[in-house]
Amino acid sequence: MSGTDTDFPVADASGSAIPADLASLESEVRSYSRAWPAVFRSASGSRLRTDTGDSYLDFFAGAGSLNYGHNNPVLKRALLEYLDADGITHGLDMMTSAKADFLRAFQAKVLDPRGLDHKVQFTGPTGTNAVEAALKLARKVTGRHAVAAFTHAFHGMSLGSLAVTAGPKQAGAGIPVGHTLRLPYDGFGTSGGSGLDLFEELLKDCGSGVEVPAAVIVETVQGEGGVNVASVDWLQRLASLCERWEMLLILDDVQTGCGRTGHFFSFESAGIRPDLVCLSKSISGYGLPMALLLLRPQFDVWKPGEHNGTFRGNNPAFVTATAALANYWADSTLTEATERNSHRIGEFLDRIARAHPEFGLRSRGRGLMWGIAFDRPDLARLISRESFARGLVIETSGAQSQVLKILPPLTITEAELDEGLGVIGDAIDKLAAF
């Protein structure tokens, strides 16, 4: 095995190439269209189709924005009816019947059953905007500047979120960002385990030079950071530390929420109650831009309009979101299916790791969010490319793209799941044989 990015013979992609006029019109910043060089036309469930009729199985799910699959028929019906009836499409933060329906459904299906009394803020319809709002609010509530964030964190690309994001993307800010205290995430390095202990010792000692931050922002599973999974114990210790020091706990559930890890919120299994929760990606359920911030009532100190934005109430997204809540979160069917499928993936990855000791594979995950880390940074990318050639859309993550990331729709069938895992297995076998 000596495959490298350049000489490994990836199977021919049958998908259409991207016409040259489009490539030259769109900025060099484009990225996924390079990894998957096809023009996609339509999609349903777990399948994407190109304009030349090729079909791809989707282990990417809009980076977690399509938990209920593409063009989910239940949501689609609700959306078409709404649009057909000339429902409000744009209303800033005016009250609309679509928003009213969503708020009530969210309270009935999500908040009340979990004993949560959080209030809902509709921010600009992107995850990063919900994070910006959370950071502002935590600073306003506490009067402090710094926010603690973790190694390998990803919270978004606008300047405020970028300051808490770790890794090379931060350099893109073009100016030094500050007011961030970087802490080791659960499992970081050999010393990461005691990171929270060191943090508390620094807070306790008034001469340490580390002041109590306004907040700690955390993901329960770091998706972009390489599918790093925090343990229940660590999350509980973190929550308790935040309470002790009156730092707001901001749970960035943008990718991990909406059932991705099993329960609706990713923090439910740890039994913690974050002060602020950022939701986006799959909250609309249909891939429509939407984001919200949940805030404990005592922290709702905003003045009217203090954080605003033109698209902060995306009414068509409210409609599909309400339909998704009604259809998938009235009972535990989806959560149970996710746990079954999660187990299936875990067993598969164990087999693969045992079968290929030469790759030093390490797998980890929760719900339908799994990663396989390779020792060599280029291997995950090769597997991703080979998989695409074999009809599977799957991406990599981690600071060096060294982790293959499995993120199918939650509504995927067992047969589709097995099909996709089979492609991955074949690609790894081929790489091993090379």
Cβ proximity to a second copy: between 146 and 421 the closer is 146
Among 1, 4, 44, 233, binds a second copy (CB under 8 A): 44
CB of 318 to a second copy, least distance (A): 12
Residue 187 lies near a second copy (rule: CB under 8 A): no
CA distance 422 to 345: 11
Cβ proximity to a second copy: between 15 and 431 the closer is 15
- For the record, the structure tokens of 85 come out as 């009836």
Cβ proximity to a second copy: between 387 and 428 the closer is 387
Measured over the CA atoms of residue 168, residue 174, residue 176 and residue 180, the dihedral's sign is negative
Residue 88 lies near a second copy (rule: CB under 8 A): yes
Between strands 292-295 and 392-393, the pairing is: unpaired
CA distance 406 to 425: 13
Q: Give residues 96-115 in contact with a second copy (rule: CB under 8 A).
A: 96-97, 99-100, 103-104, 106-107
Cβ proximity to a second copy: between 47 and 344 the closer is 47
Residue 20 lies near a second copy (rule: CB under 8 A): no
Among 51, 358, 375, 414, binds a second copy (CB under 8 A): 51
CA angle 166, 281, 227 (to 5 degrees): 45
Residue 55 lies near a second copy (rule: CB under 8 A): no
- DSSP letter string over 127-166? HHHHHHHHHHHHHHHH----EEEETT----SSHHHHHH--
Long-range contacts for 73-82 (Cβ within 8 Å, ≥24 apart)?
74/323, 74/324, 74/327, 75/285, 75/286, 75/320, 75/323, 75/324, 75/327, 76/286, 77/323, 78/319, 78/320, 78/322, 78/323, 79/286, 79/316, 79/319, 79/320, 79/323, 82/315, 82/316, 82/319
Residue 149 lies near a second copy (rule: CB under 8 A): yes
Q: Give residues 116-135 in contact with a second copy (rule: CB under 8 A).
A: 119-122, 124-129, 132, 135
Among 140, 237, 344, 356, binds a second copy (CB under 8 A): 140
Q: Give residues 188-217 in contact with a second copy (rule: CB under 8 A).
A: 188-192, 194-195, 197-198, 201-202, 205-210, 214
Segment contacting a second copy by CB under 8 A, of 166-174, 326-334, 343-351, 412-420: 166-174
Residue 93 lies near a second copy (rule: CB under 8 A): yes
Cβ proximity to a second copy: between 124 and 420 the closer is 124
Cβ proximity to a second copy: between 188 and 425 the closer is 188
CB of 388 to a second copy, least distance (A): 11
Rounded to a whole number of angstroms, the CA Rg of the chain reads 22
| E-assigned strand segments in 243-361 | 248-252, 276-279, 292-295
Cβ proximity to a second copy: between 270 and 274 the closer is 274
CA distance 394 to 183: 30
Residue 139 lies near a second copy (rule: CB under 8 A): yes
Closest CA relative to residue 288, chosen from 62, 50, 55: 62
Residue 165 lies near a second copy (rule: CB under 8 A): yes
Residue 397: partners with Cβ closer than 8 Å, 6 or more residues away: 223, 224, 225, 226, 227, 371, 403, 405
Among 34, 244, 340, 343, binds a second copy (CB under 8 A): 34
Residue 295 lies near a second copy (rule: CB under 8 A): yes
Residue 322 lies near a second copy (rule: CB under 8 A): no
- For the record, the structure tokens of 227 come out as 């599918």
The amino acid present at 402, given as its one-letter code, is Q
Tell me phi and psi for residue 392, to 5 degrees: -125, 130
Among 303, 354, 357, 415, binds a second copy (CB under 8 A): 303
Cβ proximity to a second copy: between 181 and 326 the closer is 181
Residue 163 lies near a second copy (rule: CB under 8 A): yes
Cβ proximity to a second copy: between 127 and 371 the closer is 127
The amino acid present at 308, given as its one-letter code, is N
Cβ proximity to a second copy: between 252 and 348 the closer is 252
Among 80, 232, 330, 432, binds a second copy (CB under 8 A): 80
Q: Give residues 387-406 in contact with a second copy (rule: CB under 8 A).
A: 398-400
CB of 429 to a second copy, least distance (A): 27
Q: Give residues 253-292 in contact with a second copy (rule: CB under 8 A).
A: 254, 280-281, 286-289
Closest CA relative to residue 186, chosen from 225, 154, 228: 228
- Using a 10 angstrom Cβ sphere, with 0-12 exposed, 13-18 middle and 19 or more buried, the burial of residue 344 is middle
Cβ proximity to a second copy: between 196 and 421 the closer is 196
